[in-house]
Structure 1
Amino acid sequence: MVSTAPYGTWRSPIDAALVASHDGKPDFVGMVGDEVWWVAARPAEGGRAALVRLRPGGREAVALPAPWNARSRVMEYGGAPWAAVPRPAGGPLVVFVHFADQRLYAWEPDDPAGAAPRPLTPRSAVGGGLRWADPVLRPASGEVWCVLEEFTGEGPRDVRRVIAAVPLDGSAAADRSAVRELSDDRHRFVTGPRLSPDGRHAAWVAWDHPRMPWDGTELLVARVVPGDEGVRFADARTVLGGPEESVAQVEWAADGTLLAATDASGWWNLHRVDPATGGSVNLCPREEEFAGPLWRVGQRWFIPLDGGLVAVVHGRGAQRLGILDPETGELVDAAGPWTEWLPALAAQGTRVVGVAASPRTAYEVVELDTRTGRARAVGARHTDAVDRAYYPEPLIRTFTGPDGREVHAHVYPPHSPDFTGPAEEAPPYVIRAHGGPTARSPLVLDLEIAYFTSRGIGVAEVLYGGSTGYGRAYRERLRERWGIVDVEDCAAVAEALAEEGTADRARLAIRGGSAGGWTAAASLVSTTTYACGTVVYPVLDLTAWANDGTHDFESHYLHSLVGPLAEVPDRYRDRSPLARADRVSAAFLLLQGLADPICPPAQSERFAEAMAGRGVPHAYLTFEGEGHGFRRAETLVRALEAELSLYAQTFGVVAPDVPPLELVK
């Protein structure tokens, strides 16, 4: 029987503990012989990233036991943290980055003696130390090739990055000089190398400040030449890309040509590139994205297959898996219920594996057999934690923003099999701004969203101008207009939902983390649209963030988002929520990890201090040991319950089974 109850008061079996237990998703999938391996989040284990393998018969086994944590901190967002190869005897050889010390380790998980992982790289007491990502194992030569991020001083920008070779015999574990650098450090950022089929050339992607990788990158090719101490890269040259062209990924085809995803056409399309001349051919010209923003080295949107076909993640908005024939341009999508695929492809023979989800299923490891066209979930399989009747039923919407521009959004109305709202009442809505800001919100099952919708609070995820998935022109709407376009687009969606009667205009909230936290805070100081807001590990002071206030990777991001600081200093001050704290009139919740190197707690602390005594209800919660993105189950529970309590208090309802959040003025 369906009961009528005020929105926001509905009881739900989806509690914060359930949401926390399902936080995270499989990532960095790989093939090790016939086995599928991946990195799995473990919120209940302090946020550990476990390495999991799929054994014969479909049994999942932990390949790297606690307390080992397979997670890289290169560019702080990390990258591929592991690689493994099968061996004729003794089981696979694995190398991985351990999060606690960022050293590279080798391990033999099937060793009957049960030997512990052994370090391959040394510690460094300088700055952030030595960090590694995107390893390529070369057991025949006794090496693993990686991206090396080396701090040269104590500051966040005292850093260099190169491609380096690490000996597998452990001789570099206490000797930095035993690490051989393959590339020079002329470029600030590099991805891991890809070796040509004949082993004579290597290719990688590089870029420099002030560009971000979605602004402009270069595809480099170098000769691999022997030396007295081993091979090295020689005569590196740019064959594709530049300041206004983003090459997101490169791989070698079996015929010795390159495959590269570049947005020269305005969309990240897949091209075949002649490594000698740089001449390129678009293999499937479409107004779709065949790649995305390179936030982490080692992301793979496409992968060549035996026989010349290419598996590709592509789409406009949603990203699906397809098989491309580069000779004909024919593209056939994989059948199945999955509507969103991550850039985490791997392949062996006719098998393609990746990570995929849908609005009714969370992310799981999926395998496609290209011979039969059959796709099936093989690992981290989705199981319904509650009756599917409690899942939201999202709508894909396009709204009209200022100047008639399109604004894409995913709208999740309140939904429960047990309750309905009063006929005369419109529900409250939370407008969610994603992070990045050069990113997007995928349309997949998210129990955090269901936590609210099953209680009678609607959610709208806004893919504001600047989001990816809609071509370069759409994402460049935000150029020098961060804090304006994103704020306007979120408000346009909120106002439209209220105008059409979908949402209660008096009960609108804004919510975001990281760059979304900036948008939420900027919305609170520049609009009167929202009754309250949740601001999570945000940017609040542009000038401080630009002046050594963040890590190296994003230290020049504001150059494109806001403008060069030296040329427009007033813009940095005037747009910053910290400088306009006196304009906040809506209640808010501020959440901050105290170990966050990207958006350090100093800005949140100053904002909380600026709001003290101003008469605006608010709460500031901090979490020891949490960085940029909460990972621990207890943190996730506390943060989610506090957010719901804020909305309940602001919207004038009683949220059942949630401890009250103390708001101060």
Structure 2
Amino acid sequence: MKSLKVAPFGSWKSPITADLIVAESLGLGAVIYEGEDIYWLEARPTEGGRNVLMKRTLDGQVTEMTPQPFNVRTRVHEYGGGAFLIVQGTLYFINFSDQRLYQKLPNQDPTPLTPEGTYRYADLILDPLRHRLICVGEDHSQGEKEPENTLVSIDLNSGKINTLVSGCDFYSSPRLSPDGTQLTWISWNHPNLPWDGSQLWLATVQADGSLDQVRLIAGGTNESICEPKWSPDGQLYFSSDRRGWWNLYRYTQKGAIDPLFPLNAEFSYPHWVFGLSNYSFISESHVICSFNQDGQWYLASLDTQQKQLSVIETHYTNISSLDANGHKIVLIGGCPTEPTAIVQLNLKTGETTVLKQSHTLNIDSGYLSTPEMVSFPTENGLTAYAWYYPPKNKDYKPPKGELPPLLVKSHGGPTACASPSFNLRLQYWTSRGFGYLDVNYGGSTGFGREYRQRLDGKWGLVDVDDCINGAKYLVEHGLVDGDRLAISGGSAGGYTTLAALTFRDTFKAGASYYGISDLEALAKDTHKFESRYLERLIGKYPEEKEIYQQRSPIHFTEQLTCPVIFFQGLEDKVVPPSQACQMVEILKKKGLPVAYVPFAGEQHGFRRSETIKRALEAEFYFYSQIFGFEPADNIEPVEIINGG
């Protein structure tokens, strides 16, 4: 038996390097069938984060559909999604650099359908009877005013754009009935976001393409509607959280709302982006769906006539982007110890085929940490949840009596959900000797509307409490070193990180990725989609300006007594770089160890391989200096001001 090397936690040598992660990494998304062909998007860090549309034919041949320099990505709502459509081999897509809509006929180069300008498009569908596209439009021609969101049609012969629906602040999910006579869509208005409250509409489509008999059929200010879809026989389905959980419903011909299978589980999730798919029809009366229960995803078959749900056994714990073609289904599946992959399942034969992996690495399981779901007590007698990944490296053991440092992850959103799927960046930490706690604090998705609403009016309080109580839970159970606790997060998770470091003294270091330090600045200077988000999370502005100030770390830096490293994209329109710069300057003057790592060309969320590598290694190097261990790798140092 091989003897293990004895080395302090954090100093273990790991084959999971930053170079390996970015060299072999792909983002996978938006997988769909078009006939027997399968399409998906690949986000390639090695190409500056370019989104490339891929096609796989029945014989297994894979083709790149969008050549350089095209980048399939829309900026509607800034977060995008729903950026392409395939119909009988013809591709329609939005190109990121100019936001124009392009058409690509088979074996031809892409040509623009829309003119240059300030218009953006997303969530495309085809109206074949009228030879037009229908989609969400976002008009930025009004300068400093909010952009106008509408539903528009685009004539495929002339390129003429007509407004079909307007008047609400936001629109999504236009879906045309199989016979082309009915159009459904979702809308919502400030201050709601779509997971707070949205409305489902239905209209008759006239012969000339105009809409008539527009009526509201579901939703409201306190009910969230997601994913309207038409069954092959022309019935309208959708997801609603009207009973506290996103469940599936059917709109009957008599105008009733028919629940298909009430369950305390989430059959959808917050629609930050367009084009998400959690269910698909394999016949008129059978749906393949996925649902989240206690933070883990499951695949299931739903008989919509008998109203029976049957779980389909897979080893995937995170399931998204689900589509069906008869007895075949395709999805993006993740689990803790295998790379996330595009997977095809044959429901007749039971055969599972991996079509594409996000990584092509073959990593020994001896370096991979598997998570444990932990539930722990938090404030007000409530319970919160997290996934804990212990340190794991088959070559090392720690000196006797030493406990590992802990990195607490506060996810973004803040409505996101920490799911137990393969994450090489996470394993980078655990294979070097860190414990890693991925927290589903109050406000997270996957635990029902009531859990999600714990954060209403309490952002910066509930999330911070839960991250701290999760760390304390591990310390009390003797699993991690209470003197070496760090917290890290991006965007909203960056705010939670900064609030925890400023207003509490549990953590000894932290990392903010494009995090929010000044809530007032965010309320005044962010894009339309989130411009009123803080009204629900904190309160109305400026009426409740005092609360904004009280919860903004930038105003209480005298309470901050531990080192922090900041990472920031210089083209970030969601959280402007000025927030990080102000925080850094204050900490410099205060004499605290602080580091600032800006990235030119990056926006909100890092996409370039060199950025991802630098940020990961810089954060690890920063903690090595603060917690006093020697990294096994030769990492480029980061300048730590006041680092001694």
Alignment TM-score > 0.5, same fold: yes
1:568 is aligned to 2:570? no
Distance in 1 separating the partners of 2:362 and 2:73: 27
Q: Is the 8 A contact 1:247 1:262 kept in 2?
A: yes
Please point out which of 215, 231, 237 is paired with 1:253.
231
Q: Name the CA shift for 1:483/1:66 in 2 (closer, same or farther; >3 Å).
A: same
Partner secondary structure for residue 427 of structure 2: helix
Offset at residue 465 of structure 1 (A): 0.3
Pairwise CA distance, 1:32:
1.9
Q: What is the CA–CA distance in structure 2 between the aligned matches of 1:143 and 1:208, rounded to whole Å?
A: 27
Aligned pair count reads 638
Answer whether contact 1:433 1:512 (CA < 8 A) is retained: yes
Q: Which residue of 2 aligns with 1:65?
A: 67
> Residue 184 of structure 2 aligns with which residue?
203
Q: Is the 8 A contact 2:297 2:316 kept in 1?
A: no
Question: What whole-Å deviation, never above 9, does each CA across 1:97-133 have from its counterpart, x for those lacking one?
Answer: 101111110012x42xxx4210011121xxxx21111
Q: Secondary structure at the match of 1:415?
A: coil
Q: AA paired with 1:661?
A: V
Is it true that 1:38 corresponds to 2:11 in the alignment? no
* Residues 335 and 375, structure 1, Cα contact 8 Å, conserved in 2: no
- Provide the rounded CA distance (Å) in 1 between the counterparts of 2:572 and 2:593: 25
How many angstroms does 1:323 deviate by? 1.2
Given candidates 501, 504, 528, the residue that maps to 1:527 is: 504
1:186 maps to a residue whose letter is G
Partner in structure 2 of residue 633 of structure 1: 609
Quote the residue 1:319 is aligned against.
Answer: 297
Aligned equivalents of 2:173 and 2:451: distance in 1? 29
- Contact 2:494-2:516 at 8 Å conserved across structures: yes
Residue of 459, 475, 491 corresponding to 1:482: 459
Cα distance in 2 for partners of 1:650, 1:372 equals 55
The 3 A distance-change label for structure 1 pair 139 and 226 is closer
Q: Which amino acid aligns with 1:232?
A: S
Post-superposition offset of 1:276: 5.6
Say whether the 8 Å CA contact 1:218–1:242 is kept in structure 2: yes
Give the CA deviation at 1:252.
1.5
Of residues 115, 122, 126 in structure 2, which corresponds to 1:133? 122
| Residues 1:585 and 2:561 aligned together | yes
Question: Is residue 72–residue 79 contact of structure 1 (8 Å, CA) maintained in 2?
Answer: yes
1:543 and 1:144 mapped to 2: Cα distance? 40
1:390 to 364, 367, 375: 367
Query: 550-559 or 139-148, which moves further after superposition?
Result: 139-148
Give the alignment partner of residue 189 of structure 1, picking from 151, 159, 170: 170
The range that moved more, 455-464 or 293-302, is 293-302
Question: Aligned AA for 2:252?
Answer: D
Cα pair 1:37 1:51 within 8 Å, conserved: yes
CA contact (8 A) 1:272 1:283 kept: yes
Q: Which residue of 2 aligns with 1:29?
A: 31
Per-residue CA deviations over 1:354-377 (Å, capped at 9, x if unaligned) read 111111112211122233344332
Instruction: Tell me which stretches of 4 or more aligned residues in structure 1 moved more than 4 Å.
Output: none
Bigger drift between 347-356 and 553-562 goes to 347-356
- How far residue 20 of structure 1 moved from its aligned partner, in angstroms, is 1.9
Query: Contact 2:26–2:359 (CA<8 Å) still a contact in 1?
Result: no
User: Helix, strand or coil for the counterpart of 1:627?
Assistant: coil
Q: Contact conserved, 2:119 with 2:141, CA < 8 A, in 1?
A: no
Deviation at residue 56 of structure 1 after TM alignment = 3.3
The residue type equivalent to 2:228 in the other structure is: V
Shift of 1:140: 5.1
Partner Cα separation in structure 1 for residue 515 and residue 623 of structure 2: 19
Counterparts in 2 of 1:270 and 1:130: CA distance versus 1, 3 Å: same
Given the alignment of the two structures, is residue 119 of structure 1 paired with residue 112 of structure 2, yes or no? yes
Look up the match of 1:145: 134
| Per-residue CA distance 1:132-154 (angstroms, 9 max, x = gap) | 11111345533222111111322
1:279-428 to 2 correspondences below 5 Å: 279-316=256-293, 317-342=295-320, 344-380=321-357, 383-428=360-405
Q: 1:434: which partner in 2?
A: 411
Counterpart residue number, 1:472: 449
Distance 1:459 1:449 in 2: 7
Of residues 204, 207, 215, the one that matches 1:226 is 207
User: Are 1:105 and 2:102 an aligned pair?
Assistant: yes
Q: State the Cα distance separating 1:212 from its structure 2 match.
A: 0.8
Q: Does 1:551 align with 2:527?
A: yes
CA distances 1:54-80 after superposition (whole Å, capped 9, x unpaired): 133223221112211111111011011
Answer yes or no: is the 8 Å Cα contact 2:195–2:270 preserved in 1: yes
Letter in 2 for 1:105: Y
1-structure distance, mates of 2:398, 2:76: 48
Secondary structure of the residue aligned to 2:380 is: helix
1:320-352 deviations in whole A, cap 9, x for unaligned? Answer: 22111012222222333212101x122222222
| Separation (CA, whole Å) in 2 of partners of 1:162 and 1:352 | 33
Extract unaligned runs of 5+ from structure 1.
87-91, 173-177
* Farther off after superposition, 452-461 or 232-241: 232-241
CA distance in 2, matches of 1:24, 1:187: 36
Partner amino acid, structure 2, of 1:510: I
**239-248 or 561-570, larger mean C-alpha shift:** 561-570
Partner of 2:587: 611
Query: CA–CA distance in 1 between the matches of 2:432 and 2:352?
Result: 35
Deviation larger for 135-144 or 451-460: 135-144
Partner amino acid, structure 2, of 1:267: W
- Structure 2 Cα separation of the partners of residues 130 and 329 of structure 1: 43
Distance 1:626 1:381 in 2: 22
2:86 paired residue number? 84
Q: Cα gap change, 1:205/1:22 in structure 2, threshold over 3 Å: closer, same or farther?
A: farther
Asked whether the equivalents of residues 269 and 285 of structure 1 are also in contact (C-alpha less than 8 Å), the reply is: yes
8 Å CA contact retained: 2:138, 2:148: yes
For the residue of structure 2 that corresponds to 1:235, the secondary structure is strand
Alpha-carbon deviation of 1:472? 0.5
Shift of 1:23: 4.1
Alpha-carbon distance in structure 1 between the residues aligned to 2:436 and 2:358: 26
What SS does structure 2 have at the residue aligned with 1:290?
Answer: coil
Query: What is the root-mean-square deviation of aligned Cα atoms in Å?
Result: 1.5
Asked whether the 8 Å contact 1:479–1:562 carries over to 2, the reply is yes
Residue identity (%): 37
Q: Secondary structure at the match of 1:534?
A: strand
- Tell me if the contact between 1:339 and 1:356 (Cα under 8 Å) persists in the aligned partners: yes
**Separation in structure 2 between the aligned mates of residue 488 and residue 255 of structure 1, nearest angstrom:** 49
Task: Kindly provide the CA deviation profile for residues 572-629 of structure 1, in whole angstroms up to 9, marking residues without a partner as x.
Answer: 0010011112221111110000111111111111111222221110101110110111
Change (3 A) 1:187 1:23: farther
Partner of 1:180: 162
Note if 1:454 corresponds to 2:431. Answer: yes
* 8 A Cα contact 1:163 1:192, kept in partner: no
Aligned residue number for residue 488 of structure 2: 511
Give 1:644 deviation, angstroms. Answer: 0.2
**CA drift at 1:641:** 0.6
Q: Which runs of 5+ in 2 are unaligned?
A: none
8 Å contact from structure 1 (residues 335, 374) kept in 2: no
Q: Which amino acid aligns with 1:321?
A: L
> What secondary structure, in the 3-state scheme, does the structure 1 residue paired with 2:530 have?
coil
- In structure 2, the residue corresponding to 1:315 is in which secondary structure? strand
**Distance in structure 1 (CA, Å) of the matches to 2:32 and 2:402:** 50
Q: Which amino acid aligns with 1:411?
A: Y
1:247-268 CA-partner distances (Å, limit 9, x unpaired): 1121122343321100011000
